[in-house]
Amino acid sequence: MRRFLSIYLVLSFILLIAILGVGVFFSVRLYREGQASAHQSFLSLRDTVKTYFESSGTTYDIGLALKGLFKRLVDSKQFSAIMLSNKEGAVLAEASTGKYIQSIVSQNSNRSSYDIKGVSPLEVVMEQRIDGTDFVIKAVSPFLSQEKAVDYLIRALFVIGSYFLLNLLAAIGFALSGMRSETAKKDKSENKEKQQNPEEEKDGLSVKNKTKTDRELSFLMDRIESDIRASEYEAEDLCLVLARLNPKIDGFISDSRMETLFGPEYRGYLFRNRTFVWIIRNRKIQEALALIKEVYPGLKKDSGINTPAFFGISSRNSRLISAEELFKEAKRALAKALRSQSNPVFAFYADPDKYRDYLAKSASSNSV
């Protein structure tokens, strides 16, 4: 992913340089073409004015003809302003607006006159003497029309906008790809943990925070061990019930509802990963199954599905058993319930006599 991102950044930078280079090239080309076109139009105006002066008409007729010519050229927007002057000052001028006219004082006659000037960076001011006369023709011409400037700006904005849109889409694509990559790594890591701890994953008791897991498990084992010892002293049975909520009912059944599922006498608590634990004193495993059968319809009604929770049960059953062993038996039962397609409740039945024989064999093998 990083390699592709680096390649894309390099290509994107090269593309940006190329876009800027092409933009500069066309800007210079447009500027030069406009300058050449304006200069050519001015030369044509100069030659036309020279032709009028070479004609046999009177000064009045020539002035009237030139005034009409200047007005047509300005109205057609070929020129913004045109002025004909001699050594005494301006003789004839025509401008599209008064902003092109500039008042001056003639140095020769010391009297007020006027001149024309450009008012925009898109205009060029040109001036030449008319051969064979004392007159000077001066003109202000737009070398780039407003329409062309707007069209060029729109094209430039379109290209730049396309470039940034492409980069935005690419950034979104890389972000989504990175998220998928991270998710894949996370899933791979979780699958590895599942393979390393298959029994815990089956009953839904795997936890990422091992420090927190150790504390919770230690507290649970101490509590179960204490109740087991009390049951042995009172010669009572004891059942350990684990329940795992179906992920489909998140939000439909509260933690407090589950903790008081079997009433105030047998209050459970949330262990982890939607898994609840109850230690039921003075009850045999058949009685614990009956308790679950009694409350299960209420869970189905509250959640709206047929399997709102899965239960695993183990019991002391007159055995001298540790908290860890009893917990492992309940976990195995819960794992079977989670795998089952038809029965959401499983119990781990242990024969006391066979269990004592198992302990005796284990003790003898360890002594050898």
Encode pLDDT of 251-294 as tens digits.
Answer: 678 888 888 899 888 888 888 777 899 999 999 999 999 999 99
Helix (H, G, I), strand (E, B) or coil at 292: helix
Q: What's the pLDDT at 310? A: 94
Instruction: Please indicate, yes or no, if residue 160 is contained in any of the structural domains.
Output: no
Report the alpha-carbon angle 79-81-84, nearest 5.
115
Is pLDDT above 60 for 196?
Answer: no
Helix (H, G, I), strand (E, B) or coil at 89: strand
Shared domain check, 140 and 219:
no
Q: How confident is the model at residue 199 (pLDDT cuts 50, 70, 90)?
A: very low
Residues 159, 167: Cα–Cα separation, whole Å: 12
Instruction: Please indicate, yes or no, if residue 42 is contained in any of the structural domains.
Output: yes
Nearest to 218 by CA among 108, 118, 324: 324
Instruction: Please indicate, yes or no, if residue 315 is contained in any of the structural domains.
Output: yes
- Residue 45 half-sphere exposure toward CB, CA atoms < 13 A: 31
Q: What's the pLDDT at 109? A: 55
Nearest to 311 by CA among 347, 363, 361: 347
The residue assigned the tokens 């699958």 is 191
Q: How confident is the model at residue 209 (pLDDT cuts 50, 70, 90)?
A: very low
Encode pLDDT of 306-364 as tens digits.
Answer: 999 999 999 998 888 999 999 999 999 999 999 987 899 999 988 777 777 766 676 66
Q: How confident is the model at residue 212 (pLDDT cuts 50, 70, 90)?
A: low
Token pair recorded at residue 280: 């039921």
Shared domain check, 122 and 31:
yes
Shared domain check, 77 and 211:
no
Instruction: Please indicate, yes or no, if residue 220 is contained in any of the structural domains.
Output: yes
Residues 169, 187: Cα–Cα separation, whole Å: 26
Q: What's the pLDDT at 295? A: 94
CATH of the domain at 321: 3.30.70.270
Q: How many domains does the chain have?
A: 2
Shared domain check, 246 and 113:
no
Encode pLDDT of 55-76 as tens digits.
Answer: 877 878 888 888 899 899 989 8
Instruction: Please indicate, yes or no, if residue 116 is contained in any of the structural domains.
Output: yes
Shared domain check, 37 and 121:
yes
Q: What is the mean pLDDT of the chain?
A: 81
Q: What's the pLDDT at 115? A: 86
Q: Please give the helix or strand (H or E) that residue 305 lies within, else none.
A: none
Q: Compare 51 and 112 and report the one with higher pLDDT.
A: 51
Instruction: Please indicate, yes or no, if residue 34 is contained in any of the structural domains.
Output: yes
Segments forming the whole domain that contains residue 15:
2-148
Query: 81 pairs with which residues across the strands?
Result: 95, 140
Q: Compare 243 and 101 and report the one with higher pLDDT.
A: 243
Shared domain check, 344 and 237:
yes
Residues 241, 239: Cα–Cα separation, whole Å: 6
Shared domain check, 346 and 210:
yes
Q: How confident is the model at residue 201 (pLDDT cuts 50, 70, 90)?
A: very low
Shared domain check, 343 and 207:
yes
When pLDDT is averaged across residues 64-90 and rounded to a whole number, the result is 88
Shared domain check, 226 and 142:
no
Q: How confident is the model at residue 2 (pLDDT cuts 50, 70, 90)?
A: low
Helix (H, G, I), strand (E, B) or coil at 280: strand
Shared domain check, 128 and 6:
yes
Is pLDDT above 70 for 47?
Answer: yes
Encode pLDDT of 129-175 as tens digits.
Answer: 988 888 999 999 887 665 666 677 787 787 788 878 887 777 787 77
Instruction: Please indicate, yes or no, if residue 187 is contained in any of the structural domains.
Output: no
Taken as a whole, the chain contains a residue count of: 368
When pLDDT is averaged across residues 1-5 and rounded to a whole number, the result is 68
- Alpha-carbon dihedral sign for residues 11, 14, 15, 16: positive
Of 82-96, 97-111, 170-184, 199-213, the one with minimum mean pLDDT is 199-213
Shared domain check, 237 and 121:
no
Instruction: Please indicate, yes or no, if residue 25 is contained in any of the structural domains.
Output: yes
Of 32-46, 184-198, 225-239, the one with minimum mean pLDDT is 184-198
Shared domain check, 210 and 123:
no
Q: What's the pLDDT at 237? A: 92
Share of the chain above pLDDT 90, in %: 25
CATH of the domain at 41: 3.30.450
Is pLDDT above 60 for 202?
Answer: no
